[in-house]
């Protein structure tokens, strides 16, 4: 298999602008970005990006948060992308973006305006709702002319986009791919999770016996994938697994059979039996955490060191898989000189129905930290597992 490396990474979350800030915040894990807001006459915790990050890109009378978030990510990887354009040409660099409810906040507000006024806002176009607009936006930002595509597989979208980027490079259709995910929190999506009784009134506590649901988050993450070995931070996408069990439109397969297969496929492709760290999907919902614990127990003889970083970033929906792959990249990179691992934030009360998990705490370090697995499990039975590996042979 042709090696594919992650050369750079741009990110925006509710508590971090850029990879350096995200690295510090994930290890600190103070959860200050999770804040209460009133929805449907009740309080729910969410992790929203700053208003200043939402208003960079304006379409008709409203701003597009997703495109604004992507602008910030693009600016962080700009130097790397421009270097690759000079090496390979604009036509050899592809773009694949994952999103769950692309631009849904602006669409929701425009539809509300139409209901109240009888017409859409001046300048509004149907194209504002089309998900490929996000990947085309990245392409236009850098003046690229290669492949551009968008994937929407619910909360697995960002991870799926990275896998598709790897496949583009391995098939010879691109030398470099910008891949990732982005999403915002719209009132309609938030109310949807509330109607499913999946949103938490307090800060989420994944894998606790007292868990109640998710804290929705928003943000974006873009990873620069390349066939050329980078000069530093030589970290490759060593393996991946994709399954679709189609158990239910929103509920996971209770036994996690598809999730387990995705992990096994990733391990087989990477030629591994185990990993040094596992970033859990860990939403904090009763059904998902139980499924994930059972799936992990069926795959690993001993649970790897693990944590759910959604307890810090919030659940960034279609962006989450790409954000969490970026976190895994940071943990394996030269940023992490002490080989620390992200703490798992919860109340410390395990669920007896979930097999024992090996959660990281504030002092967890690993003497040898060379591999990391990131898992994403989405509505509709989408299951994605991706393994990153540090290349010791530089």
Known active-site residue 344: no
Predicted local distance difference test score (pLDDT) of residue 327: 98
Tens of pLDDT, residues 141-185: 999 999 999 999 999 999 999 999 999 999 999 999 999 999 999
Task: Say whether 156 sits in a helix, a strand or coil.
Answer: helix
Strands 58-59 and 93-98: unpaired
H/E/C letters for each residue in the chain?
CCCCEEEEEEEECCCCECHHHHHHHHHHCCCCCCEEEEECCEEEEEECCCHHHHCCCEECCEECHHHHHHHHHHHHHHHHHHHHHHHHCHHHEEEEEECCCCCHHHHHHHHHHHHHHCCCCCCCCHHHHCCHHHHHHHHHHHCCCCCEEEECCHHHHHHHHHHHHHHHHHCCCCCEEEEEEEECCCHHHHHHHHHCCCECCCCCCCCECCCCCECEECEEEEEEEECCCCCCCCEEEEEEEEEECCCCCCCCCCCCHHHHHHHHHHHHHHCCCCCCEEECCCCCCHHHHHHHHHHHHHHCCCCCEEECCHHHHCECHHHHHHHHHHHHHHHHCCCCCCCECCCCCCCCCECCCCCCCEECCCCCECCCCCEEEEEEEEHHHEEEEEEEEECCCC
CB 296 within 8 A of CB 193: no
Strands 216-217 and 42-47: parallel
Q: What are the residue ranges spanned by the domains of the chain?
A: 5-390
Among 330, 358, 311, 382, smallest CA distance to 15 is for: 311
Annotated catalytic residue, options 73, 74, 155, 328: 155
Report the b/e string of 36-70 with b at 16+ CB within 10 A: eeeeeeeebbbbbbeeebbebbebbebbbbbbbbb
Report the b/e string of 273-283 with b at 16+ CB within 10 A: eebbbbbbbbb
Annotated catalytic residue, options 74, 150, 281, 344: 281
Q: Which two tokens stand for residue 320?
A: 């989450």
Residue 22 vs residues 94, 168, 332, 339: alpha-carbon distances, Å: 26, 28, 14, 16
Helix (H) or strand (E) holding 96: strand 93-98
Among 250, 264, 265, 322, smallest CA distance to 296 is for: 264
Strands 5-12 and 148-151: unpaired
Known active-site residue 60: no
Predicted local distance difference test score (pLDDT) of residue 394: 46
Known active-site residue 315: yes
Tens of pLDDT, residues 293-324: 999 999 999 999 999 999 999 999 999 999 99
Q: Give the separation between CA 260 and CA 266, rounded to whole angstroms.
A: 10
Domain 5-390 has CATH 3.40.47.10: yes
Q: Would you write out the chain's pLDDT as a tens digit for each of its 394 residues?
A: 789 999 999 999 999 999 999 999 999 999 999 999 999 899 999 999 999 999 999 887 778 899 999 999 999 999 999 999 999 999 999 999 999 988 677 778 888 899 999 998 888 888 888 889 999 999 999 999 999 999 999 999 999 999 999 999 999 999 999 999 999 998 888 999 999 999 999 999 999 999 999 999 999 999 999 999 999 999 999 999 999 988 888 888 889 999 999 999 999 999 999 999 999 999 999 999 999 999 999 999 999 999 999 999 999 999 999 999 999 999 999 999 999 999 999 999 999 999 999 999 999 999 999 999 999 999 888 999 999 999 875 4
Among 171, 212, 204, smallest CA distance to 316 is for: 204
Annotated catalytic residue, options 315, 328, 344, 360: 315
Predicted local distance difference test score (pLDDT) of residue 102: 81
């Amino acid at each position: 298999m042709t090696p594919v490396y992650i050369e750079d990474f741009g990110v925006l979350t509710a508590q971090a602008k850029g990879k350096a800030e995200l690295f510090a915040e994930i290890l600190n894990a103070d959860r200050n970005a999770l804040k209460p807001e009133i929805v449907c006459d009740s309080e729910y915790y969410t992790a929203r990006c700053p208003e200043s990050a939402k208003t960079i890109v304006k379409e008709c009378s409203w701003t597009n948060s997703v495109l604004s978030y992507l602008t910030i990510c693009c600016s962080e990887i700009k130097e790397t992308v421009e270097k690759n354009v000079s090496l390979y040409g604009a036509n050899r660099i592809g773009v694949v973006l994952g999103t769950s409810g692309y631009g849904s906040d602006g669409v929701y507000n425009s539809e509300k305006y139409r209901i109240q006024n009888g017409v859409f806002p001046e300048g509004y176009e149907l194209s504002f709702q089309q998900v490929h607009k996000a990947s085309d936006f990245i392409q236009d930002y850098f003046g690229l002319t290669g492949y551009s595509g968008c994937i929407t597989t619910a909360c697995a979208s960002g991870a799926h986009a990275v896998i598709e980027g790897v496949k583009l490079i391995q098939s010879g259709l691109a030398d470099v791919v910008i891949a990732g995910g982005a999403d915002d929190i719209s009132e309609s999506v938030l109310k949807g999770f509330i109607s499913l009784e999946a949103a938490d009134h307090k800060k989420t506590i994944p894998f606790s016996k007292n868990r109640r649901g998710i804290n929705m988050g928003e943000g974006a993450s873009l990873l620069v994938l390349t066939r050329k070995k980078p000069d530093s931070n030589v970290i490759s996408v060593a393996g991946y697994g994709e399954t679709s069990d189609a158990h239910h439109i929103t509920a996971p397969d209770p036994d996690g059979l598809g999730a387990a297969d995705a992990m096994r496929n990733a391990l087989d492709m990477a030629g591994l039996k185990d990993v040094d760290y596992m970033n859990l999907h860990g939403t904090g919902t009763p059904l998902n955490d139980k499924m994930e614990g059972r799936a992990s127990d069926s795959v690993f003889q001993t649970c790897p060191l693990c944590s759910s970083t959604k307890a810090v970033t919030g659940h960034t929906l279609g962006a989450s898989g790409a954000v969490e792959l970026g976190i895994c990249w940071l943990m394996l990179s030269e940023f992490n000189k002490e080989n620390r691992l992200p703490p798992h934030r919860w109340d410390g009360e395990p669920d007896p129905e979930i097999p024992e998990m090996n959660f990281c705490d504030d002092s967890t370090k690993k003497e040898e930290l060379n591999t990391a697995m990131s898992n994403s499990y989405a509505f509709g039975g989408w299951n994605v597992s991706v393994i990153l590996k540090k290349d010791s042979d530089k």
